[in-house]
Copies of this chain bind each other. A is one copy, B any other.
Amino acid sequence: MVANMFDGPTTTDLDPAERRARLRLARSPRIGPVKFHEALQHFGSARRACRDLPVTPEGEIAHEEQALGKLGGRFLIFGDADYPAALAALPDAPPMLSAIGNVGLPARPTLAIVGARDASLAGRRFAADLAITLGQAGFAVASGLARGIDAAAHEAALATGTIAVLAGGIDQVYPPQNERLQHAIAECGLLLAETPLGTPPIARSFPRRNRIVSGLSAGVIVIEAAERSGSLITAERALEQGREVFVVPGSPMDPRYGGSNSLIRDGAILVRDANDIMSVLGKPQSRPQAVEKPVQIPRNTETATVLQALGAVPTAVDELVRRCQVSAATVAEVLLALELEGRLERHRGNRVSLI
């Protein structure tokens, strides 16, 4: 049994002036994460750094913060109490993150699940099975919201807690195939983005996003990584960050496992099932609330309404949508969450019942 391995001295919230200064410093064009931390070190505080350096005007920051607030989000700033502790340990910790959703999730022991966009059905199924078991054991599941393995892991962990790190701004829907999932994570999990609102995801943002996915996590689980794939780079960065790398093996005849098998050959931990991960990292000390309260965070009245309308007698999903006066998408998310927990049974004619 282990606690979050990144437990450390609790940081207190920053005073408002230092907070604003850190935001201005972080959003300055030529100041990347490493420069940000150097400036903090050199000047002793962001306030003093802002006096001497050409930083972004306060107005721009206020404007972005307002826009984020309208989306239901807020900034997590390096040094704040709610800034993810695991990330703070990185030498290139993001100076700030936009966040929408449950900002308490990164306080849980977190595992990343990453892999191929063009994953096999079997690979996606395996990712989902792992995400469900690890989620129920108390881990938050982090990934990059890509198609394939990422999406399968997020979706399966919606009910227990999942963190998606975006390569673009937090208001950018990407990839388009995962639009519904992205909204569901904002609702039931946590969306994080390092780049400012309005920034489209560009090529060089993806490896930077990946360092956050692994940085949030005690370990990274790699499923179906081909040679020279992005998931391989994530695994290598994870090792540099001192994270465990867990890899699901596959046939050498399947090129989707070329990188995976190379990682294992180079010493990564082979994964046959969730126990192979928990035997290394231990089980979280407390199981997530979701296990006691079966469906997590029906955070608005709509989802609560759907839950109440469900019972042991099969009900048509269409009727559920009509009766609850809730969008079909919201109903679908709640049903999925219940199903993944084994509490929902599906019947012929698109009817469902609680078990």
Contact = CB atoms under 8 A, between A and B. Distances in A.
A253 interface: yes
Given A250-B250, A251-B122, A251-B250, A272 B276 contact: no
Nearest to A269: B265
A270 B252 CA distance: 10
Interface in A265-279: 265, 269-273, 276
A249 interface: yes
Nearest to A126: B253
Interface stretch (A80-88, A188-196, A231-239, A256-264): A256-264
A122 B253 CA distance: 8
A249 B272 contact: no
A271 B261 CA distance: 8
Interface string A122-153: 10011000000000000000000000000000
B258 A265 contact: no
A265 B272 contact: yes
A264 B251 contact: no
Contacts of A225: none
Contacts of A253: 122, 125-126
A66 B270 CA distance: 53
Interface residues on A, range: 20 to 34
Contact of A251 (B251, B262, B265): B251
A273 B257 CA distance: 13
Nearest to A123: B251
Contact of A270 (B126, B261, B272, B273): B261
A135 B251 CA distance: 22
B272 A252 contact: yes
A229 to B, nearest CB: 15
Max chain B Cβ within 10 angstroms of own Cβ: one of A261, A262, A272, A273 = A272
Nearest to A265: B270
A248 interface: yes
Nearest to A251: B250
Interface string A8-38: 0000000000000000000000000000000
A141 B177 CA distance: 50
A270 B266 CA distance: 9
Interface in A159-209: none
A125 B253 CA distance: 10
B269 A252 contact: no
A126 B271 contact: no
A252 B271 CA distance: 8
A248 B262 CA distance: 12
A251 B249 contact: yes
A252 B258 contact: no
Contacts of A252: 126, 248-249, 271-273
Can you list the 4 inter-chain pairs with the closest CB atoms, starting with the nearest?
Answer: A249-B249, A252-B272, A265-B270, A264-B270
10 contacts: A122-B251, A248-B252, A249-B252, A249-B257, A250-B251, A252-B271, A261-B272, A262-B272, A264-B264, A264-B270
